[in-house]
Structure 1
Amino acid sequence: MNDAAKSLFPQQVPPPRWHHGESVGIAERSYAAHRVDNEDGSVTWWLLDETDLRLERERAALLTRMSNALMTSLNPERCMTVVAELAATHLADEALVIAPQSNHGHPVTRCLRGEAATYELQHIDVDEVVGLSEALRGFPPVPSRWIDPAVAPEWLAKDGVSIVVTPLPGHGVPAGALILVRRDKAFSEDEESFARLFASRAGVAMSAAHLFTQQAVITERLTRDLLPPTLRRYDRVELAGRYRAAADTERVGGDFYDVHELPGDDLFVVLGDVCGKGLDAAAQTGKVRTALHALLQVVTDHDQMLQALNQALLSSDQSRFITTVVGTVRPVDEGLRVTLTGGGHLPPLIVRAGGSVEVARTRGTLVGILPEITTTTDEVVLAPGDSCLLYTDGITEACGGPLGDEEFGEDRLRRALRFCGGMPAEALVEHVHMLAAQWVGAGVHDDMAVLAITAPRRRTS
């Protein structure tokens, strides 16, 4: 034995029973045994220390498994739970993941090895733990030997022997801090380094989950404002609307309708179609709806309103032209007096209680593409049971049918409405929407919007 072998085997050992290439464990180290057969018949064994290499391989594999587990959820609470469970399983006897403070305290996930993690909001003093306040601000960790478990607060650990506090770095902003607690032995420098590697991956995962949730909340709030409103009930007017975006994966698009209350019992209604579809068209829809609401505060004349809207759209750098119908609904003794003005949109259809269908005279020109526009106004009276149906071309241009390549068309819509006389507004829009959806089937379609104005039937005593 050479000097290295004598150091490894202080006492004489029997002939080894190793196999060439196998790993041999000696004194808590791992060696690769290599056999060399000599010409004189003797055998030489070389033992190559592979402990550190094996440990690095195991840690690399473990980090890969951890990273895969961390990316399984974009929910912040669930992500914190995964971080705590992984840390308690592989790094310490107990792990705490602490997120930056919110209005209701610090989100804290705690996990004991072999137990399920718990999540709660806690009001904690981060200055009670050495390095925790700094870690939450993204500063480098302090060595575990600087932290005295004996003075750790009760909420952290009562019987810890060694404590590690390390930051969880996020996307430019700290995602929180990781606290590891051991009860049997201290952390080595290598173990603290490995904990920091894990923390770097955990911080990225937590930060991604937080950003995703934040963006989802923002998207939900913005989408809610872009969707057509929920229509309220009125004593002398029935209103109902339906909307369906072009893509089943999207909630907003270029079709819209709105209802605004005017002085007295009058109502202002508008239905329109912005050129295009998807998010860009929805953004333009929001601008148009906002502009109309603002104009309504200073002018109620339909022609003046559409002229002003036309100028507003022309002055916008990223404007898209629209087609629209605006109307004023006034309860009268005969039922409802509806004044309708069109700006390049499909004319509304008047569905009489007896089953006849009339076409309003409201063509006009597109809004937002020409310096000057022309509008056409028509006035109709809805007797009890009559309805006025406003709709977008997503209904009439719905392509489908038996062969899948035929438009639903205005004529087919009018024929279908002959059987809808006397229907309540809610039933009417549901029926029209269902007919178009059945015609399209699983095919591609444009945005669809339908708005019905109905004069309620009078109750008889």
Structure 2
Amino acid sequence: MVSPEGKTVTLTKDTKERFAPDSWGRPPHAVVVVDPAGTAVRVDGEISLLPGVEQGMPLPDGLAWLARATAEAAADAVHRGAPEPPTVAGEFRGRRFEAHPTRCADGSVVWWLVDHTARYAAEEALVAERERTTFLAEASNVLLSSLNAERCMAATARLASGFLADAAVVVAPAEGRQLPVTRAVRGGEAVQALIAADPSTVPGLAEALKGFPPVPSRWIDPTSLPDWLVPDGFGTTVGSVVVTPLPGHGVPAGALILLRTDTRRGFSENEETFARLFAARAGAALSAARLYAEQHSITRTLMRDLLPPPLHRVHGVEFAGSYRSSDARDRVGGDFYDVHPGRTASEPSLVVLGDVCGKGLDAAVLTGKIRNTLQALMPMADDHERVLQLLNGALLNSDNTRFATLVLASVRRAENQVHLRLTSAGHPAPLVVRNDGRVEEIPTRGSLVGALEQITAHTVGTTLLPGETCLLYTDGITEARGGPLGGELFGEERLKRALAECGGMPGEALVDHLQMLASQWLRDGGHDDLAVVAITAPQTTHLSAVDGHTRGRYTS
């Protein structure tokens, strides 16, 4: 008989002689000879690995797997030429063995028990580490796939309850006197709520929300948890608890609480360490989501002030406008317009359309400053030259190095006519569309603002009859490159020809028509910011007589 280690053991026909102590050397493994009845005929080798196994006594219950294998080997032995029994594996007293057999003639089997506890432990640890690494990679993808803070909290609770515990609770920093809480049970959906609760009632939660290190699970009494912390569907008994912070970008992002139902299986140190690794990823994702939400809120507030306002009728005068940024991603740029109504119908309204040097957010910042300054100068709105001088001084005294071109229009309605006073500050001259289709260029001129110490300006007046429109525009229209070959300028002459077809057209329709022409001209090509404002004297409205035959009357 040859052992798994290559040692030769001589088995004689006499059982006593076969199993005499002197017949074997000292085997390096535990060796036990088992008869078909499950009795240990002999125990030898590293017998310390088999505590409780005694020679001449039945095998203990922990080795029932070995007794079964011996009985099966004895049953097979009745068949002549039966092969050696197969190697079997099992556990005994916390150790894992592989038992290599050699059949004896009387039906007994010599089992060489090789201790593979360390090998199995290493293999299991390797498998567990691979699973954890895979989980962390997948969790990172899920957590970073959304910049919505509520979705990120739900994903954190769902992932943690599915892999780390039986249930998970994510607690965000308090909003006033309420805690945003997201709870999930393994296999279920995350449920979110605002709860009026004191975090100090949960051991370690108040500290975790402030970013302090986690409290070991063995220090937390599961019976002390408040009811609001246990998710619906979890059960009535909490076996063990882990509370760990969710670290953010400089500010704690919240806390993660893991719950298990089994009181016999607490969280090991390795599991708590892994929970912190997951919490670090979840905290970073939550922090990024909240930072994005904060920036989005700030951007939305700024956009509300930087974007041109919607225009409508003011003191009996129709205003219409259109704005298109050079970059759809920015939405704001260097072109702008505003209508500042007079306090009464007898006071003029001030219309401003301008173009700041440059594009994007940097130009938009200067745009906001110009608009705020002009709003403050509204009391002197009818003195265009004075307004431009003060605005020029304000720009020169600031840190910006940009300049701007402007056109100002003071608008006042008298009876059915609209009286305009127009001043250009380095800007394309306004165009007036008469009812008969004539297009007049208003000969106002002046120097741009924000570049020179002294500026010049020349104001020109004109009058709009009902149905006539004055168009203010930026050079983004005339310098738009496109057309059939893709590189031709739209130009002033093409703009005037387009306006000549709009005699008597309402201002809003005229603006829409120009926007359509510009889009068709540009197609998908790049362009500068585009802005137009139409000032229109309303058409009079004809009311027919009741019988439809007599002469009616006109109103405005």
TM-score by length of structure 1 reads 0.91
CA contact (8 A) 1:399 1:440 kept: yes
Task: Name the residue aligned to 1:174.
Answer: 252
2:47, 2:457 → 1: CA distance? 104
Match of 2:443 among 361, 385, 405: 361
Q: How does 1:65-144 map to 2 (within 5 A)?
A: 65-103=138-176, 105-144=178-217
Cα offset, 1:264, TM superposition: 2.5
Task: Name the residue aligned to 2:530.
Answer: 448
1:323 and 2:405 correspond: yes
1:358, 1:167 → 2: CA distance? 70
SS of 2:134 mapped into structure 1? helix
Structure 1's 92 and 338: CA in aligned 2 closer, same or farther, altered over 3 A?
same
Cα offset, 1:235, TM superposition: 4.9
Q: Which amino acid aligns with 2:497?
A: R
Task: Name the residue aligned to 2:296.
Answer: 216
Q: How does 1:196-215 map to 2 (within 5 A)?
A: 196-215=276-295
Q: Which amino acid aligns with 1:120?
A: A
CA contact (8 A) 1:352 1:387 kept: yes
2:238, 2:372 → 1: CA distance? 61
Task: Name the residue aligned to 1:227.
Answer: 307
Q: Deviation string for 1:251-296 (max 9, x for gaps)?
A: 0000000010123222110000001111111111111111111122
Structure 1's 54 and 350: CA in aligned 2 closer, same or farther, altered over 3 A?
same
CA contact (8 A) 2:318 2:507 kept: yes
| Alignment length (residue pairs) | 449
Moved more, 190-199 or 397-406: 190-199
CA contact (8 A) 2:315 2:413 kept: no
Cα offset, 1:52, TM superposition: 2.8
Q: Deviation string for 1:12-69 (max 9, x for gaps)?
A: 78889679xxxx8867999999x9xxxxxxx998953413333333322222222222
Q: Which amino acid aligns with 2:260?
A: R
2:389, 2:501 → 1: CA distance? 37
CA contact (8 A) 1:387 1:425 kept: yes
Task: Name the residue aligned to 2:240.
Answer: 162
Q: Which amino acid aligns with 2:167?
A: E
SS of 1:354 mapped into structure 2? coil
Structure 1's 386 and 26: CA in aligned 2 closer, same or farther, altered over 3 A?
farther
Structure 1's 341 and 53: CA in aligned 2 closer, same or farther, altered over 3 A?
same
CA contact (8 A) 2:241 2:260 kept: yes
1:93, 1:233 → 2: CA distance? 63
Q: Which amino acid aligns with 2:249?
A: H
2:47, 2:151 → 1: CA distance? 53
2:97, 2:354 → 1: CA distance? 77
Q: How does 1:288-437 map to 2 (within 5 A)?
A: 288-298=370-380, 300-437=382-519
Q: Which amino acid aligns with 1:338?
A: L
Q: Deviation string for 1:188-239 (max 9, x for gaps)?
A: 2221121111111111111111111111111111122110012233351000
CA contact (8 A) 1:334 1:381 kept: no
Q: How does 1:175-194 map to 2 (within 5 A)?
A: 175-184=253-262, 185-194=265-274
Cα offset, 1:146, TM superposition: 1.8
CA contact (8 A) 2:29 2:113 kept: no
SS of 1:155 mapped into structure 2? helix
SS of 1:457 mapped into structure 2? coil
SS of 1:207 mapped into structure 2? helix
Structure 1's 451 and 299: CA in aligned 2 closer, same or farther, altered over 3 A?
closer
Moved more, 376-385 or 61-70: 61-70
SS of 1:297 mapped into structure 2? helix
Gaps of 5+ in 1: 36-42
Cα offset, 1:361, TM superposition: 0.9
Structure with higher RCO (Cα < 8 A, 6+ apart): 1
Q: Which amino acid aligns with 1:314?
A: L
Moved more, 310-319 or 429-438: 310-319
Q: Which amino acid aligns with 2:285?
A: A
SS of 1:103 mapped into structure 2? coil
CA contact (8 A) 2:96 2:115 kept: no
Structure 1's 342 and 8: CA in aligned 2 closer, same or farther, altered over 3 A?
farther
Cα offset, 1:300, TM superposition: 3.6
CA contact (8 A) 2:418 2:465 kept: yes
Larger-gyration structure (1/2): 2
Cα offset, 1:299, TM superposition: 5.6
CA contact (8 A) 2:314 2:341 kept: no
CA contact (8 A) 1:394 1:445 kept: yes
TM-score by length of structure 2 reads 0.76
CA contact (8 A) 2:473 2:532 kept: yes
Task: Name the residue aligned to 1:2.
Answer: 28
Q: Which amino acid aligns with 2:520?
A: Q
1:55, 1:27 → 2: CA distance? 23
